[in-house]
Amino acid sequence: MGIYGADTAQLRELAKAMMQGSERLAAVKSQLGTAVAQSPWGGPDAQSFREDWRSGHSRVLASAISGLELQAKVLSANAQEQETASRASGGGPGASGGERSTADRDRPGSPDPGGLGGYDPLPGYIPLDDDALDPTNMHQGSIGDCWLLAALGAVAKDDPGFIRDHMWQNPDGTWTVKMYRDGEPVYIQVEPKVVELGAKDADKNANWLSVYEKAAAEYYGGSYDDIDGGHSSDGFEAITGQDADKTGDIGFDELKDRLADGPVALGTEVRGTWWPLDDEVDDNRIVPNHAYIVDRVEERNGQTMIHVLNPWGPDGGMYDGHQRAGDIWLTEDQYKENFATVYSAPSTKD
């Protein structure tokens, strides 16, 4: 009995149709979202309707959009694999053989937990409302991934809808997280369990950060050790698919411009790698070799100040015998004395 492959031209046509359907559905979602947000309707019923739209219908549409994108990508990849296999075996269109590519495919199972304890089951429901996505509602845990959490928190602050559109729960209880490599989507399926000592919400319950963190561990190599140390600019690019900037410290005027244009994070590190013995901060309320989320820059007590958020959470924590703040207001001089690097990315808002 012969084994026949697919018609690659038909696969590509179907992929194109699915991508076009995704784009049309995304346009409808955007139009409806704008209409709901700008409607003059007020009162409790209106508020309830908008909440239903944001937490229910909008997420269903986002899942459908991402699902169509994923299937279009899978079909295109299958067409490419079919042609590669055909060339490798000397056959024409429809020939089979060769090894299937695993590029941009999810690895089965869970990342290696390293020394982070065992895995705990995720709760059946993980909220994704604005309060849940608030960057103050996080606790870093024992992984050195402040760079990633600062990027996630900054993106969620700038555009919480983007996070809701890029992660969704599947009928089997797993989650899919949409990340990017070189601007192209990478879909990562996350089993419903996370490491005990990973990122959680401010009350130390597993939350959306736990899911994204696990997806990132798979994305960066398959182990939680692979996200232990990094730069928030890399995090921005993996999360949003857009080019990010990494520069030395800049003045408040430029910082405010960047914050108006998208998410911003700061780093106290001065080296290219994480180095725990180099304490270069001036203020003992700030964690050295650490990344922070920029909340806002505004006039306060008669002078311009910056408010930064620590991924350790609102209570901060102890480091080297000092209590480090969960959030802190700084003058421009204080900011420049303590932070060496600015990370920024374009906004994902329409």
Same domain? For 287 and 320 the reply is yes
Question: What is the b/e burial string over 127-166, where b = at least 16 CB atoms within 10 angstroms of the residue's CB?
Answer: ebeeebbbbbbbbbbbbbbbbbbbbbbbbbbbbbbbbbbb
Length of the chain: 350
Let me know if residue 22 belongs to a domain.
Answer: yes
Same domain? For 283 and 306 the reply is yes
Let me know if residue 150 belongs to a domain.
Answer: yes
Gap between the Cα atoms of 76 and 15, Å rounded: 6
Which one of 222, 240, 258 terminates a domain? 240
Measured at the CA of 264, the angle between CA 258 and CA 269, to 5 degrees, comes to: 120
Let me know if residue 27 belongs to a domain.
Answer: yes
Same domain? For 161 and 231 the reply is yes
Let me know if residue 129 belongs to a domain.
Answer: yes
Question: What is the reported pTM?
Answer: 0.70
pLDDT value of residue 82 = 58
Q: What is the pLDDT of residues 211-256, one digit of tens each?
A: 999 999 999 998 899 999 999 999 999 999 999 999 988 999 999 9
pLDDT value of residue 271 = 42
Let me know if residue 173 belongs to a domain.
Answer: yes
**Short-list 152, 134, 170, 164, CA closest to 51:** 164
Let me know if residue 102 belongs to a domain.
Answer: no
Q: How many domains does the chain have?
A: 3
Gap between the Cα atoms of 265 and 147, Å rounded: 8
**Residue-number span of the structural domain to which 252 is assigned:** 245-344
Same domain? For 23 and 127 the reply is no
DSSP 37-96: HH----SHHHHHHHHHIIIIIHHHHHHHHHHHHHHHHHHHHHHHHHHHHHHHHT--TT--
Q: What is the pLDDT of residues 70-120, one digit of tens each?
A: 677 667 666 655 554 444 444 333 322 222 233 344 444 678 887 777 889
Same domain? For 123 and 234 the reply is yes
Gap between the Cα atoms of 116 and 201, Å rounded: 17
Q: What is the pLDDT of residues 263-319, one digit of tens each?
A: 999 999 554 444 444 447 889 999 999 999 999 999 998 999 999 999 999 999 999
Same domain? For 23 and 57 the reply is yes
Q: What is the pLDDT of residues 122-163, one digit of tens each?
A: 998 999 999 999 999 999 999 999 999 999 999 999 999 999
Same domain? For 134 and 236 the reply is yes
Decide which of 196 and 78 is more confident: 196
Same domain? For 274 and 221 the reply is no
Same domain? For 202 and 156 the reply is yes
Which two three-digit tokens encode residue 42? Answer: 């007020």
Same domain? For 138 and 168 the reply is yes
Let me know if residue 136 belongs to a domain.
Answer: yes
Which one of 186, 220, 240 terminates a domain? 240
Show the 3-state SS of 242-306.
Answer: CCCEEEECCCHHHHHHHHHHCCEEEECCCCCCCCCCCCCCCCCCCCCCCEEEEEEEEEECCEEEE
Same domain? For 70 and 158 the reply is no
Same domain? For 190 and 140 the reply is yes
